[in-house]
């Protein structure tokens, strides 16, 4: 069986270090491992419209921004197919057929959907399209016969729902669709990176992000303003590292080499943590170190992004070519689906 990756992001804003830790970094690694036959990376504009129906221009503008972020992080258009979801209408048709295989109460039980409805204050006014987005995500994944989906932890319920749709489809209409596996980042700190405000998830919609394209001064300002342990008031107080965003970011991005480079008082993160927990180490010092770590991680990304910004027509060509390739693949799956459902009349 072919090994295929499908993953993507909603063009609701520029990408941030949460995306990078939770998904992008892993994708680049998988892309360069050479283990996959095909890699599809989707800019999910149709999904973004499910809760941005009145802001189509915002979604439109961010398609290019997300594409630039991809290229900046090392997604290579010669190895990965980058495409725009709405350019593949086959995905919408698949969604429509899959809707018959899922109950309303099943979608209502999806914990990510629940949390997002609450976050967006939708409660009594949930757009039907938004409610159905887990089903459209199942269409995206299965259209490419993805075997692997590298995403952040918040996507686990979506993958579960997708697998159920695959089983249901195959049992009703005969073996047709491929079951995908989720690939979560191996580093636990990357599963769900908190925001700089300490909220559970860094998210475009919450405005608590460090963006990949951020300028050095802004990175510094954000890192220095980060939420830490609220009970660590004086330098001599013992501090908590669990649940402390500064240490979660260090867990996600710091390597032992960073100590030799920026802070040779310590040789590894465990030593630094032990000192913080004992007391006698101030937040400002730790934040300065984190700033150095983040600056080093983000510099090459920002520089590569600036180079691509000078070649925007090439970026658009990459999306256009990618969408053409993706459409062919999705059309083949749709043909199989229609055949299995016996709705290929003439
Ligand atoms: P929105 O607020 O518009 O939903 P978002 O910031 O949640 O935007 P998505 O486009 O929904 O971003 O998510 C894209 C991918 O990035 C998914 O795989 C998701 O799991 C991952 N991701 C998003 N935020 C984080 C985070 N804070 N930590 C780890 N992974 C994340
Ligand atoms: Mg999201």
This model of the complex carries an ipTM of 0.93
Looking at residue 279, which CATH number applies to its domain?
A: 1.10.240.10
Query: What's the average pLDDT block by block, 10 residues per block, for the chain (346 residues)?
Result: 96 95 93 97 97 96 98 98 98 98 95 88 88 97 97 94 98 98 93 92 88 97 96 94 97 95 95 97 97 98 97 98 98 98 94
| Residues 98, 245 within the same domain | no
pLDDT, one tens digit per residue, over 209-226 is 999 999 999 999 999 999
The answer to the question of residue 336 being in a domain is yes
The answer to the question of residue 201 being in a domain is no
| Residues 83, 140 within the same domain | yes
Residue 42's contacts (CB-CB under 8 Å, 6 or more residues apart) are 6, 7, 8, 82, 83, 84, 85, 140, 326
The answer to the question of residue 238 being in a domain is yes
| Residues 39, 178 within the same domain | yes
Identify which of 317, 339, 342, 330 has the alpha carbon closest to the alpha carbon of residue 89: 330
Domain that holds residue 330: 4-192+312-340
> Which atom from ligand 1 is nearest to the alpha carbon of 12?
3
| Residues 173, 301 within the same domain | no
Identify the residue whose C-alpha is closest to ligand 1 atom 19: 152
Structural domains in the chain (count)? 2
| Residues 134, 9 within the same domain | yes
| Residues 249, 124 within the same domain | no
| Residues 319, 294 within the same domain | no
The answer to the question of residue 109 being in a domain is yes
Quick check: 182 and 156 in contact, CB under 8 A? Answer: yes
The answer to the question of residue 200 being in a domain is no
Quick check: 281 and 269 in contact, CB under 8 A? Answer: no
| Residues 60, 133 within the same domain | yes
Pocket of ligand 1 (CB under 6 A): 9-10, 12, 18-19, 21-23, 151-152, 154-155, 192-193, 201-205
Name the residue of 19, 162, 193 to mutate for ligand 1: max ligand atoms within 8 A of Cβ: 19
Ligand 2 centroid to Cα of residue 294, in Å, is 23
For 4, 254, 273, the CA distances from 244, given in Å and listed in that order, are 37, 15, 11
Identify the residue whose C-alpha is closest to ligand 1 atom 3: 12
The answer to the question of residue 204 being in a domain is no
| Residues 226, 185 within the same domain | no
| Residues 231, 252 within the same domain | yes
- Give residue 205's pLDDT: 75
| Residues 149, 238 within the same domain | no
CA dist., res. 48 & res. 50, Å (int)? 5
CA dihedral (32, 38, 39, 45) in degrees, to 10, reads 160
The answer to the question of residue 345 being in a domain is no
Identify the residue whose C-alpha is closest to ligand 1 atom 30: 22
Reduce the DSSP state of residue 6 to 3 states and report it: strand
Ligand 2 centroid to Cα of residue 203, in Å, is 7
Reduce the DSSP state of residue 127 to 3 states and report it: coil
- Give residue 124's pLDDT: 78
| Residues 172, 257 within the same domain | no
Cα 58 off chain centre by: 19
pLDDT, one tens digit per residue, over 250-274 is 999 999 999 999 999 999 999 999 9
CA of 51, nearest ligand number = 1
The answer to the question of residue 69 being in a domain is yes
* DSSP-assigned letters across all residues of 157-190: HHHHHHHHHHHHHHHHH-S-SPPPEEE--SSGGG
DSSP 195: P
The model scores a pTM over 0.80 = yes
> Which atom from ligand 1 is nearest to the alpha carbon of 10?
10
Identify which of 213, 282, 296 has the alpha carbon closest to the alpha carbon of residue 249: 296
Sheet holding 4-9, edge to edge: 81-84, 38-43, 4-9, 148-150, 181-183
Name the residue of 14, 152, 153, 193 to mutate for ligand 1: max ligand atoms within 8 A of Cβ: 152
Looking at residue 110, which CATH number applies to its domain?
A: 3.40.50.620
Burial of 209 (0-12, 13-18, 19+ CB in 10 A): buried
């Amino acid at each position: 069986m072919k090994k295929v990756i499908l993953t993507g992001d909603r063009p609701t804003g520029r990408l941030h270090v949460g995306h990078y830790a939770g998904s992008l970094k892993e994708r680049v690694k998988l892309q360069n491992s050479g283990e996959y036959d095909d890699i599809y990376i989707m800019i999910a504009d149709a999904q973004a419209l499910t809760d941005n129906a009145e802001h189509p221009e915002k979604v439109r503008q961010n398609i290019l921004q997300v594409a630039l972020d991809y290229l900046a992080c090392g997604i290579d258009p010669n190895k990965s197919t980058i495409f725009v979801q709405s350019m593949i209408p086959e995905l919408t048709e698949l969604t429509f057929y899959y809707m018959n295989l899922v109950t309303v109460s099943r979608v209502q039980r999806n914990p990510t959907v629940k949390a997002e409805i609450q976050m967006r204050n939708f409660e009594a006014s949930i757009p039907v399209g938004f409610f159905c987005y887990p089903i459209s995500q199942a269409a995206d994944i299965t259209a490419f016969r993805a075997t692997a989906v590298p995403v952040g932890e918040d996507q686990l319920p979506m993958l579960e729902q997708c697998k159920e749709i695959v089983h249901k489809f195959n049992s009703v209409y005969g073996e047709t669709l491929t079951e995908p596996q989720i690939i979560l980042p191996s580093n636990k700190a990357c599963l769900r990176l908190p925001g700089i405000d300490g909220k559970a998830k860094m998210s475009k919609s919450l405005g608590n992000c460090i963006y990949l394209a951020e300028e050095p001064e802004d990175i510094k300002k954000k890192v220095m303003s980060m939420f830490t342990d609220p009970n660590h008031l004086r330098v001599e107080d013992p501090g908590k590292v669990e649940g402390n965003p500064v240490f979660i970011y260090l867990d996600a991005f710091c390597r032992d080499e960073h100590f030799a480079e920026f802070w040779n008082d310590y040789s590894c993160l465990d030593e630094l943590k032990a000192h913080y927990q004992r007391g006698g180490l101030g937040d400002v010092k730790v934040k300065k170190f984190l700033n150095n770590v983040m600056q080093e991680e983000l510099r090459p990304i920002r520089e590569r992004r600036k180079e691509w910004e000078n070649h925007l027509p090439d970026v658009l060509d990459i999306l256009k070519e990618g969408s053409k390739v993706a459409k062919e693949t999705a059309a083949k799956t749709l043909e199989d689906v229609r055949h299995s459902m016996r709705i290929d009349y003439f």
